[in-house]
Amino acid sequence: MGKFLRIAVVFVSVLLTVPVWAQNTETTINGTVSDNLGLTLPGVTITVKDTKISVATNMDGKYVITVPANAKTLVFTYLGMQTQEVNINNRTNVDVSLQSASRHLDEVVVIGYGTTRRANITSAISSITEKDIKDLPVAGIDQALQGKVAGVTVNTNGGAPGGGVSVRIRGITSVGAGGNEPLYVVDGVPIQATRTSVAQDQLGGNAGQNVNSALASLNPSDIASVDILKDASAQAIYGSRAANGVVLITTKKGKAGEGKVQYDVYYGRAYVPKKLDLMDLSQFAQYNNEVLSEIATVNGNDYFPIGEYQNPAILGKGTDWQDAIYQTGITQNHQLAFSGGSDKTTYYTSLNYYNQSGTIIGSGLQRYNVHFNLDQKVKPWLNFGINANLSRSNQRITLTNGSDAIVTVAAYNSPAAPVTTGDGNYAGVISVGGYSFGNLTNPVAKATLRDVRNIQSQAFANIYADLIFTRHLNFRSEASFSATQAQNSSFQPYVAATDGQVILTPSKLIEQRGSGIFWRLVNYLNYNETFGVHTISAQLGHEAQLSNYDD
């Protein structure tokens, strides 16, 4: 029995000490990193995968790295080269040849007169793809461009749902209003960059922001790529309309394969994280007493505080006007998409519903979208396709800038003034101890009862046919149209407080209607021939267009 115990103890001891010894074992690996031409690369980063252990190659492209025993893979990264992972496989010498990361030169880029390889482009064109804008909770594609493209500046004007967005590709090139926006082209159909609503000053007060984003009516989830033409050579085909750059938007298409049904939904909440630090009623009463006391002292009069303010400590918080005008903004987006096809026919169809309420009461955006795409290979020498988009948006706009904006009036209002009186009517200026407090413009009444809307229905489509004469010669014809129906309305009721003070005036209704139709016919004869590394391209084109707008 004693022998057995001694043997068991020795065996367990071996089991416990062997792993500890193995864990402390490290291996030194060295090697050389070069490019596909055999030239050594200095400054290549070598990292042990899933660890923070890393070194860099020296001026001769050589490296030495110490790795733990359980390390299996080295990761080699270098600017302009493809990242490469190499298995160690118990080796102590690992030489690596990195390949150039120039595959993007074979990417197809949309330009004004068709598509081409990026390697053939000498003009300034920037591109973003579906993965760059995927899952961004924005109402329009113009907002999604922010921070995505070098040399493009995107600013949001006011922050209201569907509100104005300024996109600057070449900076400010015109002093005229609205003269700096680029030209937007969706599947070959030019669309307006902005749309206007009824100015708020027609109901009294300041005009406020009445330029809104027309791209808020286009579903960002339907977009496959965005190509931005920055210089004159890339934009020449669009003429003077492209003076501020061109944004070419390509929508999604179907892919050959099994049919797919995809449902995407997201829900978001927005709120004002930090509000102005304003006085509540107790602090305001204390401040009021101090000011009146100083005035009385300067004038040599006796000071008698307002009876209701004699003991500020017993007063409550009063009216928090910021809480009264701010709300939690809710955003929800629902998209149902169908796609698929065969070698000869592909299709993509999507249905979208978007609803966003702003963080200020009385603001919001609601949108419905239907998108359809069909591509058909009719014959080996004939391709046919159609892109169509239907949308309807309903935007409610509140006054968010100016001296009489909702936020401004709320910030300057008194915590002593209530939102409503005891009978439920909106309150104006109140009298406390013979002194007037509050603002005659009730910001809650203004935001809730003043109803300014921009309603837009839009349909645009592009139909094309490709005739392939030879491998090098083809003819393409495109016909596109856009129809827009805009409805602007603005309504304000006459509202008076219980004591007769006028809260809102005048009582007024404004209705505006506008429609526009745009037609475009484009024909291109293209010739492309490649001789080794050399390419010859020629194009003969014709374009005709007609537009009619009625306001």
| pLDDT score for 4 | 35
Residue 23 reports pLDDT greater than 60: no
Say how far residue 194 (Cα) sits from the centre of its chain. Answer: 16
- DSSP symbols for 388-420: EEEEEEEEEE---SSTTSHHHHHHHS-TTS-SB
Higher pLDDT, 159 or 439: 439
User: Taking the alpha carbons of 499, 505, 506, 509 in that order, is the dihedral positive or negative?
Assistant: negative
Which helix (H) or strand (E) covers residue 298, if one does?
A: helix 281-299
**Can you tell me the mean pLDDT for 480-488?**
92
- The top-scoring range by mean pLDDT among 187-196, 351-360, 432-441 is 351-360
Helix spans in 62-187 (H):
130-133, 141-144
Most distant CA atoms of the chain, gap in Å: 110
Across the range 173-188, mean pLDDT stands at 71
Say if domain 23-98 classifies as CATH 2.60.40.1120. yes
Q: Which amino acid, one-letter code, is at 58? A: N
Q: What is the pLDDT of residues 192-235, one digit of tens each?
A: 777 888 888 888 888 887 777 878 888 888 998 888 887 766 66
pLDDT at 455: 93
pLDDT at residue 171, rounded to an integer: 64
411 has pLDDT over 50:
yes
Question: pLDDT band at residue 5, thresholds of 50, 70 and 90?
Answer: very low
Angle at 127 between CA 121 and CA 130, to 5 degrees: 140
Q: What is the pLDDT of residue 15?
A: 31
Average pLDDT rounded to a whole number, residues 354-379:
94
Cα Rg, the chain, nearest whole Å = 34
pLDDT over 80 at 103, yes or no: no
Q: Which residue has the higher pLDDT, 379 or 117?
A: 379
pLDDT bracket for residue 107 (50, 70, 90): low
Mean pLDDT of the 12-21 span: 34
- Expressed in percent and rounded to 5, the helix, strand and coil fractions of the chain are 20, 45, 35
pLDDT at 177 over 50: no
For residue 10, the model assigns a pLDDT of 33
Does 265 or 23 have the greater pLDDT score?
265
The pLDDT score that the predictor gives to residue 17 is: 33
Instruction: Please give the pLDDT value at position 124.
Output: 66
The reported pLDDT for the residue numbered 378 is: 94
Q: Do 154 and 144 form a contact (C-beta atoms < 8 A)?
A: no
Top mean pLDDT of 70-79, 93-102, 228-237, 507-516 is at 507-516
Q: What is the mean pLDDT of residues 28-56?
A: 88
Mean pLDDT of the chain: 84
The tokens 């008076």 sit on which residue?
Answer: 496
| Residue 18 banded pLDDT, cuts 50, 70, 90 | very low
* Average pLDDT value for residue range 476-504: 92
Q: Is 60 exceeded by the pLDDT of residue 540?
A: yes
Rounded to an integer, the average pLDDT of 116-143 is 71
Pick from 92, 160, 343, 125: nearest CA to 235: 125
Predicted TM-score (pTM) above 0.85: no
Question: Which segment of 150-154, 178-182, 286-290, 541-545 scores lowest on mean pLDDT?
Answer: 178-182
- What is the reported pLDDT for 449? 95
For 209-222, b/e burial (b = at least 16 CB within 10 A) is bbbbbbbbbbbbbb
Average pLDDT estimate for 386-406? 90
Average pLDDT estimate for 442-456: 94
Q: What is the pLDDT of residues 244-294, one digit of tens each?
A: 888 888 899 888 888 999 999 999 999 898 899 999 999 999 998 999 899
Is it the case that residue 71 has pLDDT exceeding 80?
A: yes
Among 41-50, 325-334, 356-365, 385-394, name the one with the lowest average pLDDT.
41-50
Model confidence at 111, pLDDT cuts 50, 70, 90, reads low
H or E stretch covering 11:
helix 2-23
Q: Which residue has the higher pLDDT, 533 or 11?
A: 533
**Sorting pLDDT into bands at 50, 70 and 90, what band is 543?**
confident
Beta bridge partners of 108: 117
Domain map of the chain by residue range?
23-98, 108-271+328-550, 281-316
Q: pLDDT per residue over 149-162, tens digit each? A: 777 888 877 778 88
Other beta carbons less than 10 A from residue 207's beta carbon:
13
Q: What is the mean pLDDT of residues 381-403?
A: 91
